[in-house]
Amino acid sequence: MTHPGLDGRPPSASELTLSQIMDQHHTNLMGTVHGGRILNLIDSVAGVVAARHSDGPAVTAAIDETAFLRAVRVGDVVHVQARITWAGRSSMEVAVRCTADRWDRAVPPTVVATAHLVMVAVDEQGKPRPVPPLTLTTDDERHAFHLAEIRRKHRLALRDDLAAAAAA
Ligand SMILES: CC(C)(COP(=O)(O)OP(=O)(O)OC[C@H]1O[C@@H](n2cnc3c(N)ncnc32)[C@H](O)[C@@H]1OP(=O)(O)O)[C@@H](O)C(=O)NCCC(=O)NCCS
């Protein structure tokens, strides 16, 4: 499945947390933060993690159903944590967890959104290029990898179904 010429890397080598204070420019008509703004952060941070793992640019091939668990408000500090859970030939799954706390109070962060993304490493022509395999050292990492393989099977089946429907 993986490329034989590349050395493995652990998820910790590329993981990233980005924190951003939500302000009035990020709100929807209800005054809470737009889901699209959170998705944009999720996609950006996943892209950085995938680029770090693969030493170059990566594009988003799929974003799984994203769960928005709690409204994000102006004045919340959103923390977007992303790490690689699975790597194949040219694609990687990135798991993202967003938490939020308040800018002016030390309160425990609560989870506001979660997502899994498929990022594909690409060359200068935008064609898929090989990525290093993922080195798994903990039981948590092995479990996350196993769950990612299950999600991948479902995604590829869905992709085939959608392609067949589009061609019909
Ligand atoms: C992603 C992209 C580079 C894939 O190119 P492709 O010619 O279809 O290449 P492949 O079919 O060989 O797929 C490459 C890898 O991505 C995986 N992949 C592609 N689509 C996938 C999907 N929907 N779900 C899961 N994996 C997917 C393949 O399984 C393969 O994985 P592997 O190499 O690890 O085995 C191409 O479809 C593309 O450029 N898409 C647009 C990306 C983009 O612009 N994103 C921003 C959104 S606006």
Q: What's residue 3's pLDDT?
A: 64
Bridge partners, 82 (sequence order):
16, 96
Which pTM was predicted?
0.95
Q: What's residue 136's pLDDT?
A: 97
Q: What's residue 2's pLDDT?
A: 52
Could you tell me how far CA 110 lies from the centroid of its own chain? 18
Q: Report the phi/psi class of residue 160: left, alpha or beta, with left for phi > 0 and alpha for psi in -120 to 50.
A: alpha
On whether residue 140 sits in a domain, the answer given is: yes
Which residues in the chain show pLDDT less than 50?
none
On whether residue 3 sits in a domain, the answer given is: no
On whether residue 5 sits in a domain, the answer given is: no
Q: Which atom of ligand 1 is found nearest the CA of 127?
A: 3
Q: What's residue 1's pLDDT?
A: 54
Give the domain extent around 60.
11-167
Q: What's residue 90's pLDDT?
A: 98
Q: Which atom of ligand 1 is found nearest the CA of 155?
A: 24
Coil, strand or helix at 119: strand
Can you tell me the distance from the alpha carbon of 2 to that of 120, in angstroms, rounded to the nearest whole number? 13
Q: What's residue 5's pLDDT?
A: 77
Cβ atoms of 149 and 136 within 8 Å: the answer is no
- The encoded tokens of residue 105 equal 């109070």
C-alpha of residue 29 to centroid of ligand 1, in Å = 35
For residue 121, what is the domain's CATH number?
3.10.129.10
Ligand 1 binding pocket mutation candidate from 42, 44, 120, 124 (most atoms within 8 A of CB) = 120
DSSP state of 106: -
C-alpha of residue 120 to centroid of ligand 1, in Å = 6
On whether residue 154 sits in a domain, the answer given is: yes
Give how many domains the chain has, as a whole number.
1
